[in-house]
């Protein structure tokens, strides 16, 4: 999966940089390191990484400002490392454009898995008429969903919710974003809509042993669990 993909690590902790350099290089990634936000943004322009690993606690620039700067320059996936674990911060990071986050301390194995998802997503940023992974097939033009070549009958709202998650596969989509994209900006405070419709959608997926396809991130949003689909490929 790495195929020599370029990873930029921006972290002021020398031990973290060394650990990720050794671990990710051994997996075949091309790793570049930066210990400040300014250095990281300079390398961003020079090497054009495929994924950025960004620590929020930088000595010179606020991590969230670096995140916004990266996103202003393009669609490079950013995985944020943070020592804080509040829902408010998670939501602000995702709204600012973070593709994923890990709370320190974290396992290198978990980070590697998140990188693989980010790379897959970056290769499929343009919406294709048909999405296919494992047993799941979605035709965006015909608005049909199939599982193991059997049609899954969904309401318009259920289809729209699934579509948003697929378009951001592996990434947490905040409640605010889902409500805004499916119902419009006027509905951003109606989180109960999501509980109701995702509940209905999970019941329909139970028949195919895919009720865990949609993961709830409490207080934050929802994520499509692509690992479930990969197991069935």
Q: Is the per-residue pLDDT at 190 higher than 70?
A: yes
pLDDT category of residue 14 using cuts at 50, 70 and 90: very high
pLDDT digits (tens, 9 = 90+) for 32-83: 999 999 999 999 988 889 999 999 889 999 888 999 889 887 778 899 998 8
Across the range 104-122, mean pLDDT stands at 84
Quick check: pTM over 0.85? no
CATH number of 130-230: 1.10.10.10
- 148-176 b/e (C-beta count within 10 Å ≥ 16 → b): eeeebebeeebbbbbbbbbbbbbbbbbbb
Cβ neighbours of residue 142 under 8 Å, at least 6 residues apart? Answer: none
Residue 51 CA: distances (Å) to CA of 14, 22, 24, 123, 155: 20, 17, 12, 11, 36
Say whether 137 sits in a helix, a strand or coil: strand
Say whether 188 sits in a helix, a strand or coil: coil
Between the two ends of the chain, the Cα-to-Cα distance in Å is 16
* CATH superfamily entry for domain 6-123: Response regulator (3.40.50.2300)
Query: What single DSSP character describes residue 171?
Result: S
Q: Where are the domains of the chain?
A: 6-123, 130-230
Q: Which helix or strand (DSSP H or E) is residue 34 part of?
A: strand 30-34
How high does pLDDT run on average in the chain?
Answer: 86
The partner residues of 6 in beta bridges, in order of sequence, read: 30
């Amino acid at each position: 999966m790495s195929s020599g993909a370029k990873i930029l690590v921006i972290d002021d902790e020398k031990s973290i940089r060394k650990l990720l350099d050794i671990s990710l290089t051994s997996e075949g990634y091309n790793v570049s390191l930066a210990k400040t936000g300014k250095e990281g943004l300079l390398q961003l322009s020079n090497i054009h990484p495929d994924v950025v690993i960004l620590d929020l606690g930088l000595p010179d620039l606020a991590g969230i400002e670096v995140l916004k700067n990266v996103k202003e320059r393009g669609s490079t996936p950013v995985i944020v490392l943070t020592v804080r674990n509040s829902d408010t911060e998670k939501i602000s990071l995702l709204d600012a454009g973070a593709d994923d986050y890990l709370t320190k301390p974290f396992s290198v194995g978990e980070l590697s898995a998140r990188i693989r998802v980010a790379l897959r997503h970056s290769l499929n940023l343009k919406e294709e008429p048909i999405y296919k992974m494992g047993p799941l097939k979605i035709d965006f033009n015909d608005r049909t969903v199939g599982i193991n070549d059997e049609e899954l009958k969904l309401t318009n709202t259920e289809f729209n919710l699934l579509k948003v998650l697929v378009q951001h596969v592996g990434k947490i989509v905040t409640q605010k974003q889902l409500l805004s994209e499916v119902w419009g900006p006027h509905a951003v405070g109606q989180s109960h809509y999501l509980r109701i419709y995702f509940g209905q959608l999970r019941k329909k997926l139970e028949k195919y042993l895919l009720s865990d396809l949609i993961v709830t991130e409490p207080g934050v949003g929802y994520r499509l669990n692509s690992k479930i689909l990969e197991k069935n490929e």
